[in-house]
C-alpha cells in the first residue's frame, strides 16, 4: 500500500468493515492489507539491505525481502521492474539487439564459399562485433536475473535459484509444436517473466486472478469511516496488481473458451463498481444531478466527493434537539394512528366488553384490631375472633393477638409459668445448700478420726 493511502487509511480498520460476508475463496489481495511487522517486531533484527543502482548517479538502499503476503510479493516484483526501467536495461538490450541484427544481415550478405581475402577479413571483423553484441546482451539479461536474486532474503533466494535452474537450464521441456526439446531454454526476457510467475505460484494459487475478480465483485464494500476518494484509490491500487496474478489461462491444459482473468477493470466497470458501493442517499443525489451512466471514474469520484461533503454538512446541521422533537412528533402521530385504528375496529360491529361491577373490597375489623389477615375476608366471616377480643370457638391456630402480648407479660398463663419456675429454682437452691452442708460435716468427721488413730499409734 502506498504511503498516501496508508496515511488516509482509517486506524484499526477490520476486514468486516470492508467486506460483505465471508469470502467464498481465500482472496490473494484483500482490501485491508496484511500488517507488515516493523523492524522491532521481526525476529531477525540484523536484516541487511542491498544498494540498488537506479541510474548512473542514483542509488537506493532496499531491505532484503521477507514474505508477508501476496500483495507485498507483487510489490517486490514491481520494484524489480522499476529498477530495470530506471537502469534502462531493456532499452539498452533492444538497441544492442537492433545493431546485432544489422551485423547479421551484413554477415549473411557475404557468400559462405568466398575466397576473397578482403571479404574474409571483413567477415571475421563482423563476427567479432556480433559476438560482442551478444555478450553485452547476455550480461544485461544476467544482471536482471541477479538483481531479482539480490532483493530476496536467503530463504527466498534458494527457492528462486531452484526455479531458475529448473526452467532455464533443464532440457526435456515441451515446445510449442508439442515436441520435446533436447536443449535448455536459456535466459532471456521471456524466461525471466516466466520464472517470476513460477516463483509467485509458490505463494498463491494458480487461479488467483479468478479469486480476485470474485472477491472484488461480490465481497468488497466501502467502509463507513472511509471517504469515497480514498476508497477509489485503494481499489485502483489493487486493480493495478491484478495483471500480475496467475490465472487459469496460463495453464497448458486450459480450454480455449476460458477468458483471461488477470486484466484490470475497464473505466465503465470501475464506475459501475463505485456506484454499487455508495449509499442510497448518495445514489439519489447523483441521479438528481444527472441521468447518464458514468464512464469516467475520475470525474465520477469528484462528483461523489461533493455529494458526500454535502450530506455530512446536512447531518451536522441537524441538531439533537431537532431530532428529539421530530421523534416526539413521530410518537404522537403513531399514538393517534393507534387510536384511530381502535375506533375503526369498534365501529365495525364488534361486541364490546361488559362493564362488570367492581367487587367490594374485603375488610375484617376484628383482624385489623386484634391481628390477622384483615383483607382476606369480611368481618361477618371471621373465624379467628369474636367481639371482645376472644378467640373464635372454631379457631385452631396459635392463640395470641394484640390483647395477649408476651413481651409485656399480660397473659395469666405466662405469669403462672414464671412463678412455678421461681419456686423450682428456690427448691433446687435449698437442696444444693443441704448437700453442701452434709459434705462439710463428713469431711470434719474423717479428719477427727484420722487424728485419733494417729495419736493411739504414737502412744504404743
Task: Read off the pLDDT of residues 153-179 as tens digits, 9 standing for 90 and up.
Answer: 988 999 999 999 999 999 888 887 878
pLDDT tier at 240 (50, 70, 90 boundaries)? very high
Flag whether pLDDT at 80 surpasses 80.
yes
Residue 456 has pLDDT above 70, yes or no: no
Query: Would the pLDDT of 403 be above 90?
Result: no
Q: What is the mean pLDDT of the chain?
A: 82
pLDDT reported for residue 460: 45
- Calpha distance 234→317 (Å, rounded): 31
Contact between 286 and 303 under an 8 Å Cβ cutoff? The reply is yes
Question: What residues does each domain of the chain span?
Answer: 362-430
Mean pLDDT, rounded, for 423-429: 84
* Per-residue pLDDT, 48: 83
pLDDT score of 199: 94
Quickly state the pLDDT bin for 124 (edges 50, 70, 90).
confident
pLDDT of 404 reads 45
| Residues 319-368: tens digit of each pLDDT | 655 555 555 565 666 677 777 766 665 555 556 666 666 666 778 888 88
Residue 413 clears pLDDT 80, i.e. is over it: no
pLDDT of residue 408: 40
In the predicted structure, residue 375 carries a pLDDT above the cut 60: yes
What is the per-residue pLDDT for 358?
62
Instruction: Enumerate residues 6+ apart whose C-beta is below 8 A from 330.
Output: none
Instruction: Look at residue 163 in the predicted model and tell me its pLDDT.
Output: 93
- The model carries a pTM of 0.64
Q: Extract the C-alpha cell encoding 66.
A: 521477507
Distances (CA, A) of 456 to 31, 442, 460: 125, 22, 7
Q: What is the pLDDT of residue 97?
A: 92
pLDDT at 346: 58
409: pLDDT strictly greater than 70: no
Of 184, 100, 195, nearest in space to 147 by CA: 195
Identify which has the larger pLDDT, 337 or 446: 337
Q: How confident is the model at residue 412 (pLDDT cuts 50, 70, 90)?
A: low
19 three-class SS? strand
DSSP letters along 90-122, please? Answer: HHHHHHHHHHHHHHHHHHHHS-TT---HHHHHH
Residue 45 or 318, more confident: 318
CA distance 166 to 31: 35
pLDDT band of 400, cuts 50, 70, 90: low
State the pLDDT at residue 139. Answer: 93
Q: Give me the sign of the Cα torsion angle 288, 292, 298, 299.
A: negative
**Pair type for strands 49-53 and 59-63:** antiparallel
- Which region among 50-54, 56-60, 229-233, 389-393 has the lowest average model confidence (pLDDT)? 389-393
The string of pLDDT tens digits covering residues 267-301 is: 999 999 999 999 999 999 999 988 888 999 999 99
Given this model, what pLDDT does residue 420 score?
81
Question: Percent of the chain scored above 90 by pLDDT?
Answer: 36
Average pLDDT of the segment spanning 4-11: 79
Extract long-range pairs of 11-20: CB within 8 Å, 24+ residues apart.
13/223, 13/225, 13/226, 17/223, 17/224, 17/225, 18/220, 18/221, 18/222, 18/223, 18/226, 19/219, 19/220, 19/221, 20/218, 20/219, 20/220, 20/221
- List strand residue ranges (DSSP E) for 343-457, in order: 385-386, 390-391
**Alpha carbon distance 27, 19 (integer Å):** 12
Amino acid at each position: 500500500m502506498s504511503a498516501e493511502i496508508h496515511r488516509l487509511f482509517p486506524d484499526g480498520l477490520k476486514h468486516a468493515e470492508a467486506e460483505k460476508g465471508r469470502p467464498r475463496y481465500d482472496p490473494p489481495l484483500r482490501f485491508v492489507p496484511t500488517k507488515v511487522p516493523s523492524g522491532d517486531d521481526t525476529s531477525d533484527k540484523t536484516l541487511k539491505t542491498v544498494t540498488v543502482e537506479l541510474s548512473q548517479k542514483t542509488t537506493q538502499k532496499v531491505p532484503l525481502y521477507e514474505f508477508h503476503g501476496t500483495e507485498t510479493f507483487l510489490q517486490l516484483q514491481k520494484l524489480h521492474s522499476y529498477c530495470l526501467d530506471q537502469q534502462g536495461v531493456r532499452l539498452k538490450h533492444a538497441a544492442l539487439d537492433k545493431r546485432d541484427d544489422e551485423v547479421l544481415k551484413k554477415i549473411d550478405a557475404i557468400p559462405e564459399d568466398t575466397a576473397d581475402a578482403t571479404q574474409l577479413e571483413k567477415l571475421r571483423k563482423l563476427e567479432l562485433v556480433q559476438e560482442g553484441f551478444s555478450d553485452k546482451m547476455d550480461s544485461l539479461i544476467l544482471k536482471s536475473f541477479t538483481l531479482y536474486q539480490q532483493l530476496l532474503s536467503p530463504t527466498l533466494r534458494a527457492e528462486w535459484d531452484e526455479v531458475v535452474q529448473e526452467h532455464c537450464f533443464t532440457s526435456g521441456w515441451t515446445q510449442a509444436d508439442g515436441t520435446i526439446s533436447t536443449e535448455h531454454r536459456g535466459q532471456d526476457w521471456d524466461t525471466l517473466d516466466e520464472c517470476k510467475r513460477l516463483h509467485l505460484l509458490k505463494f498463491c494459487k494458480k487461479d488467483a486472478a479468478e479469486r480476485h475478480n470474485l472477491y472484488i465483485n461480490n465481497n468488497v464494500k466501502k467502509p463507513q469511516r472511509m471517504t469515497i476518494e480514498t476508497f477509489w484509490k485503494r481499489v485502483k491500487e489493487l486493480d493495478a496488481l491484478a495483471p500480475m496474478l496467475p490465472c487459469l489461462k496460463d495453464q497448458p491444459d486450459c480450454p480455449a473458451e476460458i477468458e483471461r482473468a488477470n486484466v484490470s477493470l475497464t473505466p465503465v466497470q470501475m464506475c459501475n463498481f463505485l456506484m454499487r458501493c455508495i449509499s442510497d442517499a448518495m445514489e439519489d443525489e447523483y441521479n438528481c444531478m444527472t441521468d447518464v451512466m458514468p464512464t469516467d471514474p475520475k470525474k465520477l469520484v469528484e462528483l461523489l466527493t461533493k455529494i458526500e461533503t454535502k450530506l455530512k454538512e446536512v447531518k451536522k446541521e441537524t441538531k439533537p434537539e431537532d431530532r428529539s422533537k421530530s421523534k416526539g412528533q413521530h410518537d404522537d402521530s403513531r399514538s393517534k394512528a393507534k387510536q384511530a385504528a381502535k375506533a375503526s375496529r369498534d365501529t365495525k360491529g364488534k361486541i364490546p366488553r361488559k362493564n362488570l361491577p367492581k367487587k367490594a373490597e374485603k375488610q375484617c375489623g376484628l383482624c385489623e384490631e386484634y391481628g390477622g389477615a384483615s383483607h382476606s375476608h369480611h368481618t361477618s366471616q371471621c373465624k379467628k375472633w369474636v367481639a371482645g377480643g376472644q378467640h373464635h370457638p372454631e379457631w385452631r391456630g396459635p392463640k395470641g393477638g394484640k390483647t395477649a402480648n408476651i413481651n409485656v407479660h399480660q397473659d395469666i398463663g405466662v405469669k403462672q409459668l414464671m412463678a412455678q419456675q421461681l419456686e423450682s429454682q428456690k427448691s433446687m437452691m435449698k437442696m444444693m445448700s443441704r448437700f453442701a452442708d452434709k459434705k462439710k460435716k463428713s469431711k470434719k468427721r474423717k479428719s477427727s478420726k484420722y487424728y485419733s488413730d494417729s495419736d493411739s499409734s504414737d502412744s504404743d
